[in-house]
Structure 1
């Protein structure tokens, strides 16, 4: 009798194992190995709520940006094409990434099988890196616009299209290797989403994780910090002129820069740090909960990016107000110095007259009568930048 029960138990286990392998091979139902520390039913529900919020507002925010861009032709400028690229990559994440992890969290397991897991990891990595690279390119373009001494050609889209195509090509260079044998895509966290296999300790996988962190996360961050810091230094260099307009613009741009960099760090750096700790740290150090939170934060960038980079942009904001009120397109005019106000590709979108404060602002030549002519020209350019620069 005892022997009979023992053999029954063994056969049951074997049948379970064979059934699972059968499901994987024929039905492609991917069941990740059970982890004792995996999320509870309540934990999966909480993650599903957050992902549902991200899915809803990510779609709405980015769709709104696309509609505004399509309606108002005054927004069709080279630098705004980079903003549009960010929104396109974010909305693709909302369409082809977040819904599947949301559904998986509702059911508590991955639903698309092994091949679906690999393509999910590839697609989310591709769109995410495109967004990160575009953010850094945007900061460089704004910095280059500040340094430019000639009027920007708002009809020349060749450079902007090269940036857009370059961001997608750069992302493909770093997201295709797992299909070619350099690391691999697989389940992460609680088994309800997929990404690069951070937990593998082979030299092949470790080298890929390090390169991905350096070239797709750290370098874009350093470029953003450098470019925006330079913009702040240029604007702060004319604060000695002591005009209220300059001080207000300086404070506004400082707030925008701090917000951009902080949100970049909040959304993406936890994910990068988690990947490094999972790769180099002690095994089991990254718990299921600790791996889920950075993943959700990274997906939240699809909600944050449109707000910071588009809806808080003066040009897009005026068009947003006109869109909500079903009003006419705001007219684009050049204020005091059109050459300067259009340098960043974002001309002022409201019909306005020069303020009394601007009209009576002393020029650098009056303030420093013995200044070298070249220095006077730089100060005049910088002063116009402070007054008219649109982040």
Structure 2
């Protein structure tokens, strides 16, 4: 199968360089703000910080290798580097998605309770730890024999071997899609569907300042979820086509565009936090 041309790799390297620089910088700013200002340390922001940390780690450990490989026009990490790249990108991506699913439930439970709840940091920490454990449960198996990680697309990045025809590899991919994409997305759709319906029902009723603030956070989180899904769903579709479609149906160009789009989520997420989070904007003005 023909790969990208020299110019094609150069164009991809430019996009990845942009994502690497701004993805790392934006998420580093979020991390510094969180460490510097105690007012930002609430349960919702802890989950958002978890996403920022996973995004920053993707930039450091994944995007850098793909960027360098496109400059050289081929994968430069070797077999072990490929397995590492596939593992960390899958792991950090699932951490972000599970964190968003937990956030959707947190917003749902907060806004559907009549009485004001105190901030529950213990549950937030458990959710953060749980997102990493859950992700490891589904990303370690290819390292020990249930499916595997290998070179994908234009030959400058790695992921799960979507095109493998073995029964065990197919079973892993099916489980991965069900438990790490379908179920989390269904949880988010259910929670936000119910919440938006509730917001519409009480739209004409007077809401106090605290409640308005909760609704503002809700729409910030919904925007983050929509952005994440827009970035990742095309990659998921391409992966499904590579797994269950005809051999060769996914060309290098067709696979590289969704891959770049997925990586761009590391740039978008912190911008959303800064633009839509009043607390973050306030502390930035104090700097």
Q: Could you say which TM-score interval applies, normalised by the shorter chain?
A: over 0.9
Question: 1:347-362 maps to which residues of 2 (within 5 A)?
Answer: none
Larger radius of gyration: 1
Q: Does 1:69 align with 2:37?
A: no
Q: Does 1:109 align with 2:74?
A: yes
Q: Provide the residue aligned with 2:62 in structure 1.
A: 97
CA contact (8 A) 2:220 2:273 kept: no
Structure 1 gaps of 5+ residues are 1-34, 327-391
Q: Does 1:204 align with 2:165?
A: no
Deviations 1:279-322 (A, max 9, x none): 11011110000111111111111111112245422222222232
Q: Does 1:81 align with 2:42?
A: no
Q: Provide the residue aligned with 1:264 in structure 2.
A: 228
Question: 1:182-193 maps to which residues of 2 (within 5 A)?
Answer: 182-193=146-157
Residue 239 of structure 1 aligns to a residue in which SS? Answer: coil
Question: 1:116-135 maps to which residues of 2 (within 5 A)?
Answer: 116-135=81-100
Out of 211, 214, 225, the position equivalent to 2:189 is: 225
Q: Choose between structure 1 and 2 for higher RCO, CA contacts under 8 A separated by at least 6 residues.
A: 2
CA contact (8 A) 2:20 2:63 kept: yes
CA contact (8 A) 1:97 1:124 kept: yes
The offset of 1:214, in angstroms, is 1.6
CA contact (8 A) 1:228 1:257 kept: no
What TM-score do the two structures reach when normalised by structure 1? 0.69
Out of 175, 180, 186, the position equivalent to 2:144 is: 180
Q: Does 1:166 align with 2:130?
A: yes
Task: Provide the C-alpha distance between the structure 1 equivalents of 2:278 and 2:13, rounded to a whole number of angstroms.
Answer: 34
CA contact (8 A) 1:121 1:196 kept: yes
Taking only aligned residues, the RMSD between alpha carbons, in angstroms, comes to 2.2
Q: Which structure dedicates a bigger proportion of its chain to helix?
A: 2
CA contact (8 A) 1:267 1:298 kept: yes
Task: Provide the C-alpha distance between the structure 2 equivalents of 1:93 and 1:257, rounded to a whole number of angstroms.
Answer: 21
CA contact (8 A) 1:225 1:261 kept: no
CA contact (8 A) 2:217 2:277 kept: no
Stretch of structure 1 that moved more, 230-239 or 307-316: 307-316
| 1:283 to 1:111, Cα distance in 2 relative to 1, 3 A | same
Q: Provide the residue aligned with 2:277 in structure 1.
A: 313
